[in-house]
Structure 1
Amino acid sequence: MHVRIAVAGLGVAAQVIYLPLLARRRELFEVTDVCDLDPAQAESVGRRLGARWCADPMAMLDRGGFDALVVLTAGTHGALVAAALERGLAVLCEKPLAYSQAEARALKNETRLMVGYMKQYDPAVRRAVALLEGRTVRHLDVTVLHPTGEAQLAFARVRPSRPSPTALGPWIRADEEALDTALGAAPAPIRSLYSGVVLGSLCHDLALMRTFSGPPATVEHTAVWEGPSIEVGGALRQGRYSLRWHYLPGHPAYRETVSVHHEEGTLELVFPSPYLMNAPTVLTASSLDGTTEVRTVHRDVSEAFERQLEAFHALATEGTAPLTGLAGGLADIVTAQRIIRSVAGPAIGGEAHDA
């Protein structure tokens, strides 16, 4: 079944990833509508694709004429996702789902929602899940080395979106209101750490943790230092975890290493920059054969984002449940708030105080 799809937000993710992949999979999707708060950006992309264009996502939803929505806008996504689900659309929402638990808990028709954690669909991750079956994770260790976005996108010709302050104003106010709900009167650096780092990037690793071992049972240790860098540690259901995320502007390349240690060996995944399409994640599986350590390396050039879109098509046409829906997205918000409470201390307000 052909799915008519609208895209809200025409920045980096749309230009480098989603629009090229949707064009690649024309047998599954037809892009009928595009939207960006920058009217010139919306018109330029719309004309190029032969799609209707709009500078107001809510007006696009009211106009209708499509079956599904991909949400690629900045900031919290709660209000836009809620409006799309209320209209019966299937929704693929890039992370984070929302800034507050309240926004997520208010969503209706949640069986039509997919949260965009493409790394869960990476062929290396799916193989690792299969290799882990029946085994207990003793320790999960993650290190992310994150250079500037400009460095990761040096190969791409991205046209930045430049919405006016007037167009941005209501959405910025919605972000601030959601952060007030989530964190109370937390200072700006804490808000930035929560929205930009934990929910903006580290959430991918929270999703991988859920994939391999379930949400963390505790957040026992956090440290934040210049950069920023953040370190988080605690207990899994039957083991421990350590997460380290470093913003390193001059680092030569994005690199994410995830090591999963179980009682019979180790699975190590090394992820390249997500903007490099069809660049394989390398999975190295170590095990024992008699007295010999065996290391098997797996590389698959299938694109994780493309597999995610295939899963979204199955959700839109057949109701097939995604790997992360509302429950998983909400679990990551709660974990993010626990991390911030550990950083800021018991004086933190909002939902994080009791997360």
Structure 2
Amino acid sequence: MLVETVRIGVAGLGAIAQVAYLPLLDRRRDLFRLAAVCDLDREHAEWFGHRFGVPAYDDPERMLDAGGCDALLVLTSGSHGALVRAALERGLWVLSEVPLGYSRAELSDLPDAARLMVGYMKQYDPAAQRLLECLHEAGGPEVIRHLCVTVLRPPGRTQLLFAKPRGSHPSPARLSRYADADERSISAALGEEAPKPVRRLYAEVLLEGVCLELSLIRMFTGAPASVDHVAVWPAETYPPSVEASGALPGAGRYGLHWHFLTGYPAYHQTVALHHEHGSFELSFRCPYLLNTPSRLLIRSRIGTTERTLVFEDVAEAFERQLVAFHRFVTQDERPVSGLAEALTDIAVAQRMIRRYAEAAGEPVGGECAALPAGGG
């Protein structure tokens, strides 16, 4: 049977587009045909348009209105809500990287949201998928006593030294329109009174970074049932370290530790799930290094022997996510995360920011104030 080729447009030509998505779309020409590219920096967009032999635009809605695409890949900076809405209104299928939006109101009443897939690529990592299978064999999420996530994250420029991505430099005037819309969405989430450090923590750390870890927690055990504790430190450093803990939907608890470390040698992430009879330990390296193997350690006991099984796979998570998106478009196979799941993660991030604001004596309002800080 012939595989349908999906014509896809790419909005946003920053580092993640250059290092991961564009090379993988080129690799998977059996599934996708790049149809158009867009970036607010016209010269930057035209450079990639010439490289790939496709039309280039500096306005995403102009690209959508020009037609020729079945689907849109949204990789722009800031909130993706308005562009996702515009693409869905035109009948396109959409794969959006995070942040999908900064407020739940921004994403309300999205037209034809059944065509939307949200890109949490670690959910498609082969080791993460294997952990999910092993967890089911062990008895399911309810057997987990504790889930611990630790992220050690150096600056993006350090992680990208090997790639030397081309820079995009749109004019401040072009950016201001989108920045103003982002601020309105953040105000809807946190209230006008929320101070700038709290707004940045919410938008740039929780919804652009920590939400990727929340997506893994949600996939393995369900979204956190409570946010009991949040700490942010040191006060003079941005981005800071973030620590959060609370209850899982079952009897277990979670701890999340996210550290931005300016001089750290390389990106490392571990996800450990401990249960009565053993542990699952998942480790990730730099996401920008394609086909770098992730590792799953499975610890158990047989008689008097402690047994450790090691599972590694070089299959690329970003590529597996694109393959899943193709199945979504051509076979209507539901993705791991869509609008409902993204809204769940946004709500958890809002509970985290409320818990932090309460402890720090900072004012917050909006959607955040309407949610219980500790519960679901």
Q: Is the 2:195–2:363 Cα contact (8 Å) retained in structure 1?
A: no
Q: Which amino acid aligns with 2:244?
A: V
Q: Which amino acid aligns with 2:367?
A: E
1:72 aligns with 2:75: yes
Deviations 1:278-327 (A, max 9, x none): 00111101011112111011110000000000000011111111000011
* Partners of 1:325 and 1:236 in 2: CA distance: 21
Runs of 4+ in 1 over 4 A off after TM superposition: none
Match in the other structure for 2:307: 294
Match among 152, 156, 168 for residue 161 of structure 1:
168
Give the secondary structure class of the aligned counterpart of 1:234.
strand
1:312 aligns with 2:320: no
Match in the other structure for 1:110: 113
Q: Is the 1:111–1:319 Cα contact (8 Å) retained in structure 2?
A: no
Matches within 5 A, 1:1-355: 1-133=4-136, 134-135=139-140, 136-185=143-192, 186-226=194-234, 227=237, 228-238=240-250, 239-345=252-358, 347-355=363-371
TM superposition shift of 1:106 = 2.5
Q: Is the 2:88–2:115 Cα contact (8 Å) retained in structure 1?
A: yes
Match in the other structure for 2:374: none
- TM-score in terms of structure 2 length: 0.93
* Partners of 1:237 and 1:10 in 2: CA distance: 39
Q: Is the 1:347–1:353 Cα contact (8 Å) retained in structure 2?
A: no
Q: Which amino acid aligns with 2:189?
A: A
Q: Which amino acid aligns with 2:151?
A: V
Q: Which amino acid aligns with 1:342?
A: R
Q: CA RMSD in A?
A: 0.9
Structure 1 unmatched runs, 5+: none
Identity %: 55
TM superposition shift of 1:264 = 2.1
Q: Is the 1:281–1:300 Cα contact (8 Å) retained in structure 2?
A: yes
TM superposition shift of 1:138 = 1.5
TM superposition shift of 1:81 = 0.4
Q: Which amino acid aligns with 1:217?
A: A
* Partners of 2:64 and 2:327 in 1: CA distance: 22
Give the secondary structure class of the aligned counterpart of 2:307.
strand
TM superposition shift of 1:263 = 2.3
* Partners of 2:116 and 2:274 in 1: CA distance: 32
Q: Is the 1:221–1:233 Cα contact (8 Å) retained in structure 2?
A: yes
Q: Which amino acid aligns with 1:311?
A: A
- TM-score in terms of structure 1 length: 0.99
Aligned pairs, number: 355
Q: Which amino acid aligns with 2:356?
A: V
